[in-house]
Amino acid sequence: MASRTGRYTLTLDSSPSIIGFASVVGKKEGEGPLAKFFDNVFPDDTLGEKTWEKAESSLVKSSLTLALQKAAVSSSDLDFIFGGDLLNQCIGSAYAVRDFSVPYIGLYGACSTMAEGLCLASLFVDTGSAKKAAAVTSSHFCSSERQFRYPLEYGGVRTPTSQWTVTGSGAAVVSASGDGPKVRQISFGKITDLGICDINNMGAAMAPAAAVTIKQFIDDTRSKPEDFDMILTGDLGHVGSKLLIELLKRDGIDISKNHADCGCLIFDGEAQDTHAGGSGCGCSASVLCSYILQNMAQKSLKNILFLATGALMSPTSFQQGESIPGIAHLLHITA
Amino acid sequence: MASRTGRYTLTLDSSPSIIGFASVVGKKEGEGPLAKFFDNVFPDDTLGEKTWEKAESSLVKSSLTLALQKAAVSSSDLDFIFGGDLLNQCIGSAYAVRDFSVPYIGLYGACSTMAEGLCLASLFVDTGSAKKAAAVTSSHFCSSERQFRYPLEYGGVRTPTSQWTVTGSGAAVVSASGDGPKVRQISFGKITDLGICDINNMGAAMAPAAAVTIKQFIDDTRSKPEDFDMILTGDLGHVGSKLLIELLKRDGIDISKNHADCGCLIFDGEAQDTHAGGSGCGCSASVLCSYILQNMAQKSLKNILFLATGALMSPTSFQQGESIPGIAHLLHITA
């Protein structure tokens, strides 16, 4: 039964367990520093499909199937799947989940989707609304480039602040009982928009939302940054991470010692030419559901905050001169 | 505290109240049979904005503001807003909700969004995760045509099975206590895809999902169609409604006597040349949050099932030859 802590945070009194998690990625991610932690690296980013969108759906199917296997749970044991992605009308998830025959709650939180889905899955389990629920999301470099920027064939030059969309998917299964990492608290964020209009600088657009959500959690729970082994953001990248640390310092919150970002962890920026780092729903999902949760399962990480940020613009809103609204949802997870 | 009834249905033991609801629509909807029930009819579908997408955001702001006023609640009393729409990256909702400064849970359920959001808002209130929560969604004929079909200027001819996207928005505020209509039970649907590929026949693509969700609710609760004053679908239109009745008859469930559809109610098909009826997230939202909930508040409707169906394809998936996955979420509401 969830209880409110402060104004914005929900404490999940039953501490639901993440009993299974998996991540699958593309070739480039498999050449990065986290290579050995992924469950599957696809050597061909098409995954044998005819289109990038179908390849992205295959990533989702693959991570969800593996997470269920690792949790020793069949899809008929799941009460709900929470999913979504970056593609128009979230087709990456919908076409993948179609075959699982499980009630589906479709989300749109842009790159915050893994945190949004995992918050909801955990809350559903904690309140007894589900016994088991899964959260899944994905992104694909090629489907994202086509949709948000230019067709690959155009060969557009990337700005220094631009990020590289991760080809990957992560899935997690949450259960009322089990041995996995426990979700202790969740905090859903507000839309935050400081007027950033540069579509090649997502980190800057999303950092203010991350700052707002971290501050609301710290205030609600009267905790300190040093209470946590790691404060992990989803895909702020190198530019957004610096800004986040700066913004929180102004509020007297210093996360510089234990902040990490999935977008900075997943690629070797210099060797892999990924500019400001990784991004996309699949970035936070694949890093959380590999390196991070594996370390928590082995107790080398014991107490973390995980928050994923989303930039809620579209190519249309950008062309119409709108600024980029950001959002961030947060989970407090312990080993 | 929600408790499970059967395999798929959650009974909300505290019966959360819909304490405020509002709907706003465009000119054509204001000339239809439900004109007098809408809170506001905008005579100009631009709402004074420079783009259709911004006009759609204005619809959302307007319905949400009115629903809060009618509930005598300020936005700071809300714990969550659940929203989403049909536009790429759901910008209709995100840009509208930005100014409310309330934690936002973004959804993508296509035209099922009003039911999805209202299910979640009601469940959050029932489980004590929120004291008050709002659900809102929208659609706009002109932004939808541009995105899903052709620019208006092209003047494409409409097929007989095509539906007319409603320009409108509906919002509802759910609270733990209050006098409004009560949400008794909710049932989230599975993705259902019988292989329909005709993008001009959404009714046919979505009817199977509606049939699956109604059947799962009837089975779970051991109820009969005649237990309800009305079984209301969101936007199956004339073609999809006929198919739904037919599909359920095969399962021995006869809803022909008390089935109604928001897409059939909102327009006078012959006089308004709307072919198979209204559609869009805003169709079910604006009809539910006007005509239906007003009748429930006055006790002329006492016991209904409301389900909204969504077609989860995108123009890209259609161009790639994919069929159209449907989904339907259901609420049992009493006066």
C-beta of residue A198 within 8 angstroms of C-beta of residue A163: no
Element holding B233 (H helix, E strand): strand B230-233
| Phi, psi angle pair for A49, to nearest 5° | -95, 165
Asked if B89's CB is within 8 angstroms of A314's CB, the reply is: yes
Q: What is the structure's pLDDT at B151?
A: 87
Q: What is the percent of chain B with per-residue pLDDT over 90, rounded to a whole number?
A: 96
Q: For residue A208, what are its two tokens?
A: 């203010």
Contacts of A6 in chain B (CB under 8 A): none
Long-range contacts of B3-7 (CB under 8 A, 24+ apart): B3/A128, B4/A128, B4/A129, B5/B185, B5/B220, B5/B221, B6/B216, B6/B219, B6/B220, B6/B221, B7/B216, B7/B219, B7/B220
C-beta of residue A292 within 8 angstroms of C-beta of residue A232: yes
Which residues touch B10 (CB under 8 Å, ≥6 apart)? Answer: A129, B2, B3, B4, B123, B185, B186, B187
Q: What is the structure's pLDDT at A156?
A: 87
Q: What is the structure's pLDDT at A43?
A: 97
Question: Best interface-test mutation with B: which of A124, A191, A196, A281 has the largest number of B CBs within 10 A?
Answer: A191
For chains A and B, what is the number of CB pairs under 8 angstroms? 160
Q: What is the structure's pLDDT at B1?
A: 77
Q: How many Å apart are CA A183 and CA A293, to the nearest integer?
A: 12
Nearest to B91 among A84, A116, A313 (CB): A313
Q: How many Å apart are CA B38 and CA A46, to the nearest integer?
A: 49
Contacts of A191 in chain B (CB under 8 A): 94, 97-98, 104
Greatest alpha-carbon span in chain B: 52
Asked if A317's CB is within 8 angstroms of B53's CB, the reply is: yes
Asked if B127's CB is within 8 angstroms of A316's CB, the reply is: no
Task: Of B246, B221, B240, give the one whose Cα is nearest residue B303.
Answer: B221
Nearest to B129 among A109, A123, A312 (CB): A123
| Phi, psi angle pair for B81, to nearest 5° | -115, 130
Contacts of A80 in chain B (CB under 8 A): 188
Q: How many Å apart are CA B189 and CA B311, to the nearest integer?
A: 12
Name the packing angle between helices A202-221 and A237-250 (round to 10°): 40
DSSP-derived letter for residue A160 is: T
Amino acid at B180: G
CA distances, A22 to each of A95, A124, A175, B96 (Å):
19, 21, 15, 35
As separate numbers, helices (DSSP H) first and strands (DSSP E) second, chain B gives 11, 15
C-beta of residue A185 within 8 angstroms of C-beta of residue A221: yes
Q: What is the structure's pLDDT at A1?
A: 77
Among chain B residues, the shortest Cα distance to A2 is held by B129
Task: Of B130, B153, B137, give the one whose Cα is nearest residue B17.
Answer: B130
User: Quick check: ipTM above 0.85?
Assistant: yes
Asked if A10's CB is within 8 angstroms of B94's CB, the reply is: no
Nearest to B104 among A1, A106, A190 (CB): A190
Contacts of B312 in chain A (CB under 8 A): 89-91, 94-95, 106
Contacts of A129 in chain B (CB under 8 A): 2, 4, 10, 123, 127
Q: How many Å apart are CA B134 and CA B58, to the nearest integer?
A: 17
Q: For residue B221, what are its two tokens?
A: 């609760």
**How many of the other CB atoms lie within 10 Å of CB of B300?**
10
pLDDT digits (tens, 9 = 90+) for B148-182: 998 889 988 999 999 999 999 999 999 999 999 99
- C-alpha A292 chain-centroid distance: 12
Element holding A9 (H helix, E strand): strand A9-12
Q: How many Å apart are CA B279 and CA B275, to the nearest integer?
A: 11
Contacts of A135 in chain B (CB under 8 A): none
Nearest to B104 among A123, A129, A327 (CB): A327
Task: Of A239, A247, A176, A218, give the one whose Cα is nearest residue A305.
Answer: A218
Minimal CA separation from B67 to chain A, in Å: 20
pTM over 0.95, yes/no: yes
Minimal CA separation from A81 to chain B, in Å: 9
**How many of the other CB atoms lie within 10 Å of CB of A278?**
34
- Average pLDDT on B304-327 reads 97
Asked if A91's CB is within 8 angstroms of B313's CB, the reply is: yes
Question: Best interface-test mutation with B: which of A46, A88, A330 has the largest number of B CBs within 10 A?
Answer: A88
Name the packing angle between helices B52-71 and B141-148 (round to 10°): 140
Q: What angle do CA A281, A286, A289 make, to 5 degrees?
A: 125
- Following DSSP, what letter does each residue of A79-97 receive, concatenated? SEEEEEESSGGGHHHHHHH
Buried b (16+ CB within 10 A) or exposed e, B143-170: bbbbbbbeeeeeeeeeeebbbbbbbbbb
Helices (H), B170-310: 202-221, 237-250, 262-265, 269-272, 281-287, 293-297
Which residues touch A36 (CB under 8 Å, ≥6 apart)? Answer: none
Question: Best interface-test mutation with B: which of A53, A85, A317 has the largest number of B CBs within 10 A?
Answer: A317
Q: What is the structure's pLDDT at A246?
A: 98
DSSP-derived letter for residue A191 is: P
Show pLDDT as tens, one digit a residue, over chain A (335 residues).
799 999 999 999 999 999 999 999 999 999 999 999 999 999 999 999 999 999 999 999 999 999 999 999 999 999 999 999 999 999 999 999 999 999 999 999 999 999 999 999 999 999 999 999 999 999 999 999 999 998 889 988 899 999 999 999 999 999 999 999 999 999 999 999 999 999 999 999 999 999 999 999 999 999 999 999 999 999 999 999 999 999 999 999 999 999 999 999 999 989 999 999 999 999 999 999 999 999 999 999 999 999 999 999 999 999 999 999 999 999 999 99
Question: Best interface-test mutation with A: which of B317, B319, B327 has the largest number of A CBs within 10 A?
Answer: B317
Nearest to A316 among B91, B110, B312 (CB): B91
Task: Of A74, A82, A144, give the one whose Cα is nearest residue A113.
Answer: A82
Asked if B127's CB is within 8 angstroms of A116's CB, the reply is: no
Which residues touch B241 (CB under 8 Å, ≥6 apart)? Answer: B203, B207, B233, B259, B261, B263, B264
Least confident of B94-103, B148-157, B163-172, B291-300: B148-157
**How many of the other CB atoms lie within 10 Å of CB of B262?**
32
Contacts of A94 in chain B (CB under 8 A): 191, 312, 325
Q: For residue B232, what are its two tokens?
A: 């209301």
Asked if B312's CB is within 8 angstroms of A106's CB, the reply is: yes
Q: What is the structure's pLDDT at A2?
A: 92
Q: How many Å apart are CA A300 and CA A293, to the nearest integer?
A: 10
